[in-house]
Structure formats: structure tokens, C-alpha cells
Amino acid sequence: MMMSRCPNQSDLPTTHRVFLETFGCQMNELDSELIVGQLEGMGYRFTDDWKQADIVLYNTCSVREHAEAKVYSRLGRVGSRKRDRPQTLLGVIGCMAERDGRDLLRRYPQVDLLCGPGELDKLPMLIDNALKTAMADDPVNVSQTVALQGSASRRSGTLAAAEDRLEFLDLSRRFNPEAAQAQARSAYVRITRGCNKFCTYCVVPFTRGAEIHRPPDHILDECRRLVEAGVVEITLLGQTVNHYRFEHGHAVEVHGVVQPQKGRSYAGGHDRDPFTDDGHTTTFAKLLQRIHEELPDLQRLRFVTSYPRDFGNDVLEVMRDCPRICRYLHVPVQSGSNRILEMMNRGYTVEEYKDFIERVRAYLPDAQLASDFIVGFPTETEEDFQASVELLTWSRFKNCFVFKYSPRPGTPAFDKMKDDISEEEKKRRNNVMLSEQAAISRAVHESYLGSTVEVFVEGVSSREARKQRRAARDGSLGGAVSLTVHGNDINSEVAPTMSDDETVQMSGRTSGDLITMFDVPATTSDSLIGAIVQVHVTNHAPLALFGELV
Ligand code: 5AD
Ligand code: SF4
């Protein structure tokens, strides 16, 4: 890695405009938000138009080939422009930078900067360094600047250092009430980085490194400051959130007083239930409970993503007893065939997954569940596939993400298993699963007809945003409206009612994560954003409820 000095010592002019585009998951969305905060704090300005930018950054995802293909096409586009404007700085950050590494620089010489997801705290330094090189005598000959963790963070000696460095990025978050309002008062907070599961198809353990759990006090502090800045809903993030556990080092703090450690906890040996709090360990259940108790003004607490194994009843009990924790679980199962689950190294059986779903239904009868499936995994037979369809039907998820298997270089499945299901067959299986799920989603949404649901209002609906953008283009409205809705794409939904000029269609979510739309007078729409309102459900679509404000 090339770097020369601390970013805070920069004496560069602070007029650089940055364009940042984010691909992939919520973890990347949060990383991008932190990057924006960090760079804005240093004087950089952001633009929505990459052609106006001096620095173009792509925060990338490597989970499937499709996500990477989009970025390669962006790199080609910016590369052509760099022929006219060689001083434009082009950076690839996130999982693709880590996965492709220096090969990417060889294949795309127009890229000036690479920064892996485990090194984002160094991004300001890398940009600073690259800009200085670009301002030197020969702007065309910009040397490339790289920060990648390689496999270093998986070595125990460097894990602690990685923990400290990465913690710095999350701790540098800016708490801006205006931004909180603009973002519909919803925020992500990371609790865990990386993943130790090594599912055979997945790049994440290689790109994001070993699992690291953030100290609970840091998480609490971040949540508290967000709530004080006006945030109403917090979503805790981790690849496997229910595996969260923080072993308190040599001392524990009780009511602000440091206590001597009374003995080593059971770390490593599992002679006791590893998910109970023994005083030295903060488990996921305990973390949820603490956030709920210590932040009474936080109206909604969510978390993603849950892993189907090791999801103890302690978490379900806390969810049941804490009304402001949302009744929603996203628990990817990936396959309904035990043979395929084993090949995927998922570490549970279909029977264990079903047992988990039954426990959820028993503790939280009003909860909604969502899941992920992969179709066309190597050797998946029609029988294996039918087992997935059966599990999907049995589980009655409110929605499901179904992915065609995408072989990822560097993963065990890529190295050891032949991608032997044709693209056409993957597509067929994908469509079968999606249409089966559409029928279930429709029935789940239909079951709410006539009831009243509590909705956290996120903004105007996507249909409304499109309408307002059109009107702005035609000159009949003063400005464009932006919409922040995390997660599902509901663009294809057609609302059964049309709002006239005086009403605006708003969109929000129930505690169970059901998208809900309702019309309000245009004059009141702004004041509703970020509020929790009651909506009487009068209509539905496969992925949305429609209703009237009570
Ligand atoms: N091919 C297809 N889908 C994948 N996922 C992860 N890796 C792959 C892959 N190689 C899916 C899984 C996971 C979701 C985030 O992406 O379903 O839960
Ligand atoms: Fe990937 Fe499996 Fe970790 Fe999820 S649990 S991030 S699928 S390795």
C-alpha cells in the first residue's frame, strides 16, 4: 500500500467533487454513508453526476457475477472519459477490489485506487495520496494506490489490529439531524463485520474477512446518538447477526464501575449454552434487550441477516417481550434439500430449519419471515429442486429472494464443483420459485385486508416519486423528490387507487416489514415522513398493502 501521511494533515484544496455509486447489500450502503460523512467532514463535496466529478468511486459487490458485470461496464465508461479528462480519479472500493485485487488494475489501467471493505478507514489517505500524485508533473502517469487486506485479517495476530482500525470507521459517523430527517429517520448500525461460515458458494468470508463483533458500548453509543439526532428506526447489520457475542476482556463494567474479572468464560468449549449471558459475555439477545431498555425513544429496532443455526429461544423471548423490536426475520435457507445444504456447508438440515420456523411462529405469531434460495447449485437434481419448492411453500415467507447459482472464483464451490446446471434450467427453476412465492406473498398480504396496521412512513411511494419527477421535468413542480426505501423493489407494483393533484401517495413499512401505501393531502405529506401512523388496509398487491390513514 502506498501512503504518506495522515488524512487530517491534508493541505489540499477542498473543492474536489466526488461521485459515489453503491452496489449490493445494506452493509455497502452503510459503508458508503460512512465514507460520505468522512469525506464531507474533510471538505469534499458530492455530486449525483459522475461527469461533473473529479473523483469517481464505485462501492462494489462480488456476491454474484451479475453485480460485478455492472461495475466493469461503469469502469469502461469512465475509462473512455478519462482520455479527455485524465485528471479524473477513478476508485474501486468494496468487495470487488478485495476479490480481484491487483488483477483488476492490470485489466483496467484507468483505475487509480483500490480499497477493500476491511480497509475503508484508509480511503481518505488513499484519495489524498492519489490526488497528490495526479497533481504532479505528469498527470497521465498516475501511479495506482491500493489498500487490500488480503488474507491478513484471518491471522489471529492481525485480527485485533483489524478490529481497532475498522472500529474507527464506525466511530467516525457523523450525527446530523438534517440528514437524519432527509433519510426518513431510518439508520443502519453495524454490530458485526465479516463472516466465519464459509458457505462453499460465497465470497464474503474472503472479501470481508473474519467475523469481528463490535463492543456493545460502542453500538449503544452510536444508537443513542442517532436517536438524539432524530432517528426513529435502527436496523442492526451483520452477515449473521444472531452469532453476535462480545467477550468482555479482563474486566467488566457494571453501572459504570470496572469490576475485576471473576474467571474465564466458556469461550471455545461449549459445555454450557453458548447463547446465555454469563456476565462476561454480551450475547445477541442481551444486546437487543439493552438497546430496547436503554433507548426508550427509539421506536423501531430491526436486524438483518439471521443465520438459521444457533438462533436461540433467548432472542425470541426478548423479541416477544420488547414491543419496539420489529416482528420480522430475514433467515436465508438457500435450499430445501439436505444433500445440497451439506454441499453448501450450511451446517443445518431442513428439519432443523423447520423446527426454527415453528419456534418463531410459537413465540411470535404475528411475525413475518423472509428468506433467500439459490437454484441451480452444482448437481441440483429435479428432486432437490422440488424439495426447495416444498420448503418455500411450507414456510409461508412474506417474500423471498431467489438467486441463480453464480460460480465465484476463489470459493470452494468454484474450485471443486462443476457448474453443471444450464443457464436455461437455472432460469426455469428461478421462475418456478418466484411464481410460487408470488402466490404466497399475495395470500400473506390479503390476510391483512380490513385490519389496521402500524406503519413507519419512509417517504413518498416510488410511483409518486416518478410522477413528481415527471411533473418537475414538465415544469409544473418546483423540484424533484427523492425516495429512500431500503430493500424490496416495488417499482412494478400498480396501486389500485390513483391520487389526484391534491393527494400524495406515501409509502412505509409495518413492523413485519410489509410495504404499505396510502394517500394523504399533499400539504401534510412532509410532516408524516419519519412518523409512525395507523393505516386501515383496504387493498393489496403481491408485495404491498394499500389503505387509508386512520
Ligand atoms: N450465487 C448465487 N447466489 C449467491 N448468494 C451468495 N452467493 C451466491 C452465489 N455464488 C446469495 C445467497 C445469499 C444472498 C445474499 O446472495 O442467497 O443469502
Ligand atoms: Fe456468505 Fe454463508 Fe457468510 Fe452468508 S453465512 S455471508 S452466505 S458465507
In the chain, the domains with their CATH numbers are 9-147 (3.40.50.12160), 159-326 (3.30.750.210), 333-444 (3.30.750.200), 452-549 (no CATH)
* Pocket flag, ligand 2, residue 202 (CB < 6 Å): yes
Nearest Cα residue to 305 out of 236, 234, 374? 236
Say if residues 390 and 336 touch (Cβ distance below 8 Å): yes
Question: Dihedral through CA 490, CA 494, CA 496, CA 500, nearest 10?
Answer: 100
End-to-end CA distance of the chain: 58
Nearest ligand 1 atom, CA 201: 10
User: In testing the pocket of ligand 1, which one of 333, 345, 372, 402 has its CB within 8 Å of the most ligand atoms?
Assistant: 372
Cα dist from 266 to 243, 275, 355, whole Å: 15, 11, 26
Q: What are the helix (H) ranges across 231-349?
A: 284-294, 313-321, 338-343
pLDDT beneath 50: ranges in the chain? 1-13, 137, 139-142, 250-276, 477-499
DSSP output for 468-535:
HHHHHHHTSSSS-------S---TT---SS---TTEEEEEEE-TT--EEEEEEEGGGHHHHTT-EEEE
Q: What is the pLDDT of residue 290?
A: 97
3-state SS class at 189: strand
Nearest ligand 1 atom, CA 406: 1
Cell of 393: 411453500
* Pocket flag, ligand 1, residue 29 (CB < 6 Å): no
* Pocket flag, ligand 1, residue 388 (CB < 6 Å): no
Find the ligand nearest to 333 CA: 1
The CA distance from 331 to 368, in Å, is 11
Cα dist from 381 to 152, 335, 339, 401, 426, whole Å: 38, 12, 10, 20, 11
> Distance, CA 169 to ligand 2 centroid (Å)?
23
Beta strands in 66-167, from DSSP E residues, in sequence order: 89-94, 113-115, 145-147
pTM of the model: 0.85
Q: What is the pLDDT of residue 139?
A: 47
